[in-house]
Amino acid sequence: MSQHLLWLASLAGVVGLLSARALVALSPLVGVLAVLANPNLRHDIKNYLRNAAAMRAAALVGFLLVSGVYTSEWAVWRHELFRSLTWLGVPLAFAVATPLSAAQRLSVGLAFVGGTALVALATLAQYFADPAGANAAISIGQNMQAITRIFHVHFGLMLSQSFFWGLLLVRHPLARVWMKALMLLASIVAALTLHILAYRTGLLVFYTGLVAYTVWLLLRGSVVLGIGLVLLLGMAPLGAYYTLDSVRDRVASTHYDIEQYQYEKDINTYSLSRRLVAVKTAKNIIQQHWLLGVGPADAAAAMKRQYSWRDFGLRPENLVYVHNEYLSAMLGGGLVGLSILLAILCWPLTQAVLRRNPYVCFFILTQATVMMVADILSLQIGLNLFVFGYGFLVVANERNVKLTSSPT
């Protein structure tokens, strides 16, 4: 029962991320039920405390609790504390509930990659229904959301992850021929969607992953394949630029956007320029509160106060929060908050077994990359996307390592 409930929670989480937001909220609750249904709960509950990945996630909640001592935005703090329960519930489920079988884990991977491809195809159909209108929006810096209303940053991240995980699942020992064919097709769909819709953040994650994989191949001595990927990395962006109007429009709008910032023009309608001034604003606050930050709940209010000193000509409705998860962590938590975030992200790579797991590596790489250009954890979908992947891949694999290495 415990194993099936955890499987149901995982599938519900995938469906929720792609379409039904209510299922995202219910998924951790089902995961907790899976923990309670574990017939060996009294013995296995120790796995949670022994799981370093789960403890690192809990440390983030612990820091939020401690920040209540110096916070001034109590309503925001209570809301953030409620949101942070995800950091406890999901790792708890994957650390204590009866582990998923290899076939069940494969089915969850197939659901994520295949589901993302289906949403991508539906979104492409919407794009091709009026490509001129879509390209016109891209030319002024706008983005087409997924047909299921997933924000473009998160959808771009999901497409990039689906591309890499789909290619990995093609080699899964339990995957049948038709599964391998579907995963390969889904990966192609994900890559094409990123380029056709010209998702700037998604393409950054996509090509960063390809560069990292190319370097890894060359270091392993796979020279022919590595050189082939180097050529692909050079030709693919150029090919997309010269064949897709959307890519050319995105490049032009990005260049023009940055020029507005460089020449100190009116940037009220330019997203990149506003993000750059947000970085400047956040840095001024961080310099004054470098150790513990202003408090996670007070970060947005601190930005508003700083903007009151210098608003860069922005109207109140156009003032933006810093779009960088690392700066956001420092803004709210100082060096302590940043250290916790980096520990959650990077500590798994200190373990040889997890370093050799390509699913874990691509999860960390894609999330670490997107965090450079987006405060990905500020929206609930971004938080759920990270924590579910963290639980499913990092916490579960660390538990597996502990089980296989313990004496029987």
- Read out DSSP for 263-302? TT---TT-HHHHHHHHHHHHHHHHHHSTTT-S-GGGHHHH
Residues 177-189, mean pLDDT to the nearest whole number: 97
Residue 287 CB neighbour total at 10 angstroms: 8
Q: What is the pLDDT of residues 64-119, one digit of tens each?
A: 999 999 999 999 999 999 999 999 999 999 999 999 999 999 999 999 999 999 99
Residue the block writes with tokens 């933006």: 320
Tokens 């980096």, residue located: 342
Q: Would you say residue 31 lies in a domain?
A: no
- Banded pLDDT at 232 (limits 50, 70, 90): confident
Indicate whether 252 and 119 sit together in one domain: yes
Q: Are 73 and 297 in contact (CB under 8 A)?
A: yes
Residue with tokens 């969850």, as numbered in its chain: 108
Query: Measured between alpha carbons, how far is 202 from 314 in angstroms, rounded to an integer?
Result: 27
pLDDT confidence of residue 404: 66
In angstroms, how far is CA 260 from the centroid of its own chain? 29
- Residue 24, pLDDT score: 83
Residue 261 neighbours by CB under 8 Å, 6+ apart: 267, 270, 272, 273, 276, 277
Element (H, E) at 384: helix 380-389
User: Cβ atoms within 10 A of the Cβ of 141, count?
Assistant: 18
What is the sign of the dihedral through the CA atoms of 18, 21, 23 and 28?
positive
Closest CA to 290 of 243, 248, 338: 338
Higher pLDDT, 368 or 233: 368
The domain boundary residue, chosen from 250, 265, 280: 265
- For residue 39, is it within any domain? no
- pLDDT tops 90 at residue 20: no
Q: Are residues 251 and 383 in the same domain?
A: no
104 within a domain of the structure (yes/no): yes
> What DSSP character marks residue 174?
T
**Rounded percentage of the chain residues whose pLDDT exceeds 90:** 90
pLDDT at 317 over 90: yes
Is the domain of 243 the same as that of 120? yes
Residues in the chain: 408
What pLDDT is attached to residue 102?
96
Residue 345 counted as domain residue: yes
Pair (343, 210) in one structural domain? no
Domain end position, chosen among 209, 233, 265: 265
pLDDT at residue 208 tops 60: yes
Radius of gyration of the chain (CA): 22
Is 407's pLDDT higher than 60?
Answer: no
Question: Going along 190-235, which residue ranges are E strands?
Answer: none
Rounded distance, CA 291 to CA 336, Å? 6
Pick the last residue of a domain from 210, 243, 265. 265
110 and 259 belong to one structural domain: yes
Q: 109 near 165, Cβ under 8 Å?
A: yes
> Residue 297's closest CA among 339, 331, 332?
332
Q: How far apart are CA 28 and CA 217, in angstroms?
A: 37
Q: What local confidence, expressed as pLDDT, does residue 112 receive?
A: 98
Q: How confident is the model at residue 48 (pLDDT cuts 50, 70, 90)?
A: very high
Regarding whether 348 and 331 lie in a shared domain, the answer is: yes
Dig out the tokens for 136 from the structure.
């016109």
Mean pLDDT score, 12-20: 91
Average pLDDT over residues 315-343: 97
Pull the structure tokens for residue 5: 């409930």
Q: Tell whether 30 is covered by a domain.
A: no
User: What is the residue whose two structure tokens read 């650390």?
Assistant: 95
- 367 vs 245: CA distance, rounded Å: 28
Residue 17, in any domain of the structure: no
Do 59 and 145 share a domain, yes or no? no
**Which residue do the tokens 């960088």 mark?**
324
Contact 63, 336 (CB under 8 A): yes
The answer on pLDDT for 131 being more than 80 is yes
Same domain, 343 and 291: yes
Q: Please check whether residue 22 lies inside any domain of the structure.
A: no
Contacts of residue 272, defined as CB under 8 A and 6 or more positions apart, other chains included, come to 141, 254, 257, 258, 261
Same domain assignment for residues 306 and 286: yes
- Is residue 194 within 8 A of residue 123, CB to CB? The reply is no
Instruction: Specify if 34 maps to a domain.
Output: no
Is the same domain home to 367 and 400?
A: yes
> pTM surpassing 0.85?
yes
On whether both 228 and 284 belong to a single domain, the answer is no
Residues 73 and 136 in one domain: no
Q: Which residues of 7-31 are buried (b: 16+ CB within 10 A; e: fewer)?
A: bbbbbbbbbbbbbeeebbeebbebb
> For residue 408, what pLDDT is reported?
38
Range of the domain at 57: 52-88+267-408
Please, which pLDDT band fits residue 225 given cuts at 50, 70 and 90? confident
> What is d(CA 402, CA 246) in angstroms, rounded to the nearest whole number?
48
Q: Per the structure block, which two tokens stand in for 62?
A: 């612990």
**Tally of domains within the chain:** 2
How far apart CA 408 and CA 403 sit, in angstroms, is 9
From the DSSP assignment, how many helices (H) and strands (E) are in the chain? Answer: 20, 0
| CB contact burial 42-56 (16+ within 10 A = b; e otherwise) | eebeebbeebbbbbb
